[in-house]
Structure 1
Amino acid sequence: MSSHPQAAPLIQKMRKSSLRIAKARSIFRLKSKLARNCLSEFLGTAMLLFLGLSVSMQFILSNGVISSWFHVNFGWGLALTFSALATYQTSGGHLNPAISLLMVTLEKLPHSHLLPFIIAQLSGAIVGSIGPYYLYQDQFKHFTSLKTLAFPGLAACFTSFPELHVSNGTAFFDQIAGTGVLAFCICLCIDRRNKVPVFLQPLFFGLVLTMIGCSLSLNVGYPLNPARDLGPRLFAAYLYGIEVFSYHDWYFWIPLVAPCIGAIVGGWAYQIFIGIQIDDDHEEYELKVSN
């Protein structure tokens, strides 16, 4: 037993804090696991978009003075790291309909959970898009007072728009390739046979996104995520009109469809070429033989 005079009050305070948390848990904890997971996907995606779009807006609205393109890539990577870390122990930190679809094909997510996950992710993306706009509203007004911009102009703060010389065919393949790399690396990290510590996995997800931004972002940026692209696009359409969707011969559908294809291709490429080729642990092999 501690004889330090301040030890007893400190222990008492810690116990009171634990009781408060336990009481809050009994009141607010959702009974449905699916509801808890969807809440995590909603909040995690909102957090990802709030932080990520703030990074993009800081770059665009300052004319690249405050930050560089590397800062944008690094900032989005950190945003994904901590958003995934916050939700990893509940929903698995998908934050991306394409990744959720991949997990269904890998039988790591029930089919019946896919649509609720997508709705939660898209809703979170919309909510996460609104916050940065109002946070930087004065900067938006100041920027537009200084110059007249051709479309997409400041709509590019929210979502992806290829330049006119980039064809939709190139954009489609670009999103398959980028999301394929993301899914490949995610499967590599979560494969328990690679022994990547669970607490480090969200960090690696963020580093993968930074790597993709530094290497595969020239054509259309790197949305790689239907919710990340569509959620802000819906809010941008409210601000700037239907051209947000019709621009570049209705390009908008590409970041919705191509990432889903890319995630399945990349995730299963890992499984076929690497994952299923790794020997199981000896103990696990013995257990399977004995059964």
Structure 2
Amino acid sequence: MSTSVSPGGRRMSEGKSHSSLYSKHPSNPSERAGEEIEFANQRKLRDTFVNRIRIFAAPYFAEFLGTAVFVLMGCGANLTYTVLTTNAQSAWVGNALGWGIALMTGVFIAGGVSGAMLNPAVALAFAGYRGLPWIQVPFYFFAEFAGAFVGALLAYACFAHSLDPFDGFNRQINGTFGSAGAFGNFARPFIGNGAAFLSESVGTALLVIGVFAITDNNNFPARSCTPLAIGLLLTGLALSIGYPTGYSFNPARDLGPRCAAAIWYGAAVFTNHGSYTWVPVAGPMAGGIVGATLYEFLIVSKRALVDIDDDDKESISASEHSSMSIA
């Protein structure tokens, strides 16, 4: 930063006055000693074993809480759709908006600490192409599954009294009074597991492509609107291609609530619909890898120019810049 031109004496006097006004070291020896003791106490507190554990686990705690809130609000939207509504067409739109807002809230909660993956498929994609350390991936997976399990438990607790008059105190998986689908996803009766796997894979691939685009600073990032953009992305996917399977697109969002639902609905939640449990786990994991790979190979953003030296940059013509869609 350049300084304004001024007489030397004036600049020295200004520097002296600023030094006297903003000095962080008190002239009184007793005050200085007190500050040193306070600093030492703060450093000692910061270096405690418990605080080091908190710092190490901070992203996983954030991932746990963000996923728990996401699933709590989303399963609540599912239960509202299942139990309290009669107009299925309008309820489907409200359900999709509910999950989108739930994801937006989870991203707001965890985004600044853990990156708010909230999804093992997204965490795997970020480990492969966005620099998330592989050693952290298992911890992210565990935090997301645990958060989804706890979120589903809380959703059930909030809706237990509403479920009782709905199904006559008889928890059912399928049928008119079936409500297990509000927790773990179940494909429509006319959808086979193969078609459901394809639907979940394609949906998750689109989700990861969208997340990569929204968060890519070298493309057209949403920046401060990232949580809103990601929430609307999920809502759009739910309204467009989510109907056949109920749009899991997230292994933790399905398996965690499914394990919670087994407490009330029994082990049949894992074997129902031709042992459907593997589909919303394997499909999103495969789709996430495919989506991330497609984005990295097909979207040539400004990251492609990072390794080009200045001479090579000058040789690129304006038409080539235009064809590469570089801002």
Q: TM-score w.r.t. structure 1 length? A: 0.83
**8 Å contact kept, 1:73–1:214:** yes
**8 Å contact kept, 2:75–2:155:** yes
Q: Residue 35 in 1 paired to residue 62 in 2?
A: no
Paired residue for 1:169, among 189, 194, 199? 194
Paired residue for 1:73, among 88, 96, 110? 96
Q: Distance in 2 between matches of 1:77 and 1:288?
A: 46
Change (3 A) 1:209 1:49: same
Q: Percent identity?
A: 30
Q: Residue 90 in 1 paired to residue 113 in 2?
A: yes
- 3-state DSSP of counterpart to 1:109: coil
Q: Distance in 2 between matches of 1:217 and 1:42?
A: 25
Q: How does 1:1-291 map to 2 (within 5 A)?
A: 33-64=55-86, 68-145=91-168, 151=174, 153-274=178-299, 277-280=300-303
Which has more radius of gyration? 2
Which is further off, 83-92 or 60-69?
60-69
Structure with the bigger RCO (C-alpha within 8 Å, sep 6+) is 1
**8 Å contact kept, 1:34–1:113:** no
Change (3 A) 1:257 1:280: closer
Question: How many angstroms does 1:34 deviate by?
Answer: 4.1
Change (3 A) 1:181 1:283: closer
What code does the residue aligned with 1:53 have?
C
Show CA shifts across 1:221-250 (max 9, x none): 100101000011001111111110001111
Q: What is the aligned residue count?
A: 265
Q: Distance in 2 between matches of 1:96 and 1:148?
A: 28
Q: Distance in 1 between matches of 2:252 and 2:234?
A: 16
What code does the residue aligned with 1:119 have?
F
Question: How many angstroms does 1:86 deviate by?
Answer: 1.3
- Deviating runs (4+, > 3 A) in structure 1? 25-34, 63-67, 146-150, 279-290
Question: How many angstroms does 1:269 deviate by?
Answer: 0.6
What code does the residue aligned with 1:250 have?
S
Question: How many angstroms does 1:173 deviate by?
Answer: 0.3
Q: Distance in 2 between matches of 1:268 and 1:247?
A: 33
Q: Distance in 1 between matches of 2:265 and 2:169?
A: 18
**8 Å contact kept, 2:186–2:245:** yes
Q: Distance in 2 between matches of 1:58 and 1:70?
A: 12
Over aligned residue pairs, what C-alpha RMSD do you find?
2.7
Q: Distance in 2 between matches of 1:283 and 1:147?
A: 61
Show CA shifts across 1:104-144 (max 9, x none): 11142111101011001000001000111111111010101
Which is further off, 145-154 or 158-167?
145-154
Equivalent residue, structure 1, for 2:5: none
